[in-house]
């Protein structure tokens, strides 16, 4: 199923089930048995799942045009972002003038991004005042659905709630300076993280799963309608299971509502061609991501 967070014309924020014809208001359709916020729904999913399954054929309460979609999980508990695609590492490394560190091939590497700077599809993204090399990053993200620590990769699927599209907006001129210190990106990344348009529960993607535990999913990016990147998630070097194992090792607890970003698919950012495929993003540009099986994530830069 595809789950969304939306706002009504009256300003009410609700959780919904996205169907081909509209949105089912989960709290209303369940007579109050289901929560009206996504984080609580994820926390209580073991209890909520049978009720949700009973609403799969429910008549929508809203047409899409009647509501505003928000980030499907507006308040994640934490947000780790990985760099799990080798092609992106090779491409970006050339621009930044460094080779891929040997340790990258030994373990999935991540940093913590700003879990408070969350936006959804259709929301305008302001270019930071000190930035003139604004970039995007085409990623997929998984949402943790169950608490656990020291989770093995082969058991990690039990801890995944679902998946969404993720745009890791990046101020490359700011990031380029701070990456001179081997501490990872910070101010170049913390101003905007966009997810959406929905969360697909993990069962939705089973038909795309490959024999090596990846997903055969086309991933595209467009700027003002122009196709820039046409990639596939199956090219990822590390699986989400391996990322979860790395995040939870040494007794670290993952919680429902934590998000793990996959990192950028190869050619899924403008820095990979040093902005020759397209100039840096400017106010007025529309960025559109699409991942097969999930949907379209679209934002305007202001």
Q: What is the CATH number of the domain that holds 83?
A: 3.90.850.10
Helix H or strand E encompassing 244: helix 240-248
pLDDT of res. 181: 83
Matching residue, tokens 């991933």: 219
**Alpha-carbon dihedral sign for residues 115, 121, 124, 130:** positive
Q: How many domains does one find in the chain? A: 2
69: closest CA among 141, 5, 163, 162? 5
Residues 6+ apart with CB under 8 A from 194: 71, 118, 119, 120, 121, 123, 125, 166, 167, 169, 297, 299
Give me the domain span that covers residue 191: 78-300
**Mean pLDDT per 10-residue run, the chain (302 residues)?**
97 97 97 97 97 96 97 98 97 87 96 97 97 98 98 98 98 89 86 98 97 96 98 98 98 98 98 97 98 98 98
7: closest CA among 82, 81, 51, 62? 62
| Whether residues 60 and 83 fall in one domain | no
**Alpha-carbon dihedral sign for residues 26, 32, 34, 36:** positive
Q: Is 222 exposed, middle or buried (0-12, 13-18, 19+ CB in 10 A)?
A: middle
Alpha helices (runs of H) in 133-234, residue ranges in sequence order: 172-178
| Whether residues 86 and 54 fall in one domain | no
| Whether residues 149 and 283 fall in one domain | yes
Q: Distance of alpha carbon 11 from its chain centroid, rounded? A: 25
The angle subtended at Cα 105 by Cα 137 and Cα 231, nearest 5°, is: 35
Dihedral angle computed from the Cα positions of residues 12, 13, 16 and 19, in that order, rounded to the nearest 10 degrees: 70
| Whether residues 158 and 194 fall in one domain | yes
| pTM of the entire predicted model | 0.98
| Whether residues 104 and 184 fall in one domain | yes
| Cα separation, 185 vs 177, whole angstroms | 9
| Whether residues 208 and 87 fall in one domain | yes
């Amino acid at each position: 199923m595809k789950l969304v967070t939306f706002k009504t014309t009256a300003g009410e924020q609700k959780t919904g089930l996205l169907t081909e014809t509209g949105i089912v208001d989960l709290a209303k359709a369940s007579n109050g048995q289901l929560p009206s916020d996504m984080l609580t729904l994820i926390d209580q999913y073991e209890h909520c799942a049978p009720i949700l399954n009973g609403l799969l054929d429910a008549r929508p309460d809203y047409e899409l045009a009647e509501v505003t979609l928000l980030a499907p999980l507006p308040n994640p508990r934490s947000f780790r972002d990985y760099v799990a695609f080798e092609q992106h590492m090779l491409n970006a490394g050339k621009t930044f003038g460094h080779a891929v560190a040997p340790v990258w091939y030994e373990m999935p590497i991540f940093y913590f991004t700003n879990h408070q700077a969350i936006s959804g599809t259709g929301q305008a993204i302001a270019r930071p005042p000190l930035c003139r090399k604004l970039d995007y990053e085409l990623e997929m993200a998984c949402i943790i659905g169950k608490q656990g620590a020291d989770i093995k990769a082969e058991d990690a699927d039990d801890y995944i709630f679902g998946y969404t599209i993720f745009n890791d907006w990046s101020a490359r001129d700011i990031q380029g300076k701070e990456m001179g210190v081997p501490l990872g990106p910070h101010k170049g990344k913390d101003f905007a993280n966009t997810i959406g348009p929905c969360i697909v529960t993990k069962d939705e993607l089973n038909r795309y799963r490959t024999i090596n535990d990846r997903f055969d999913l086309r991933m595209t990016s467009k700027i003002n309608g122009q196709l820039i990147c046409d990639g596939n998630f199956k090219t990822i070097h590390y699986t989400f299971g391996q990322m979860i194992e790395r995040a939870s090792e040494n007794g670290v607890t993952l919680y429902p509502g934590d998000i793990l970003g996959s990192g950028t698919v190869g050619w899924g950012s403008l820095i990979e061609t040093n902005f020759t495929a397209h100039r840096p993003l400017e106010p007025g540009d529309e960025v559109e991501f699409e991942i097969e099986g999930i949907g379209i994530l679209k934002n305007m830069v202001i």
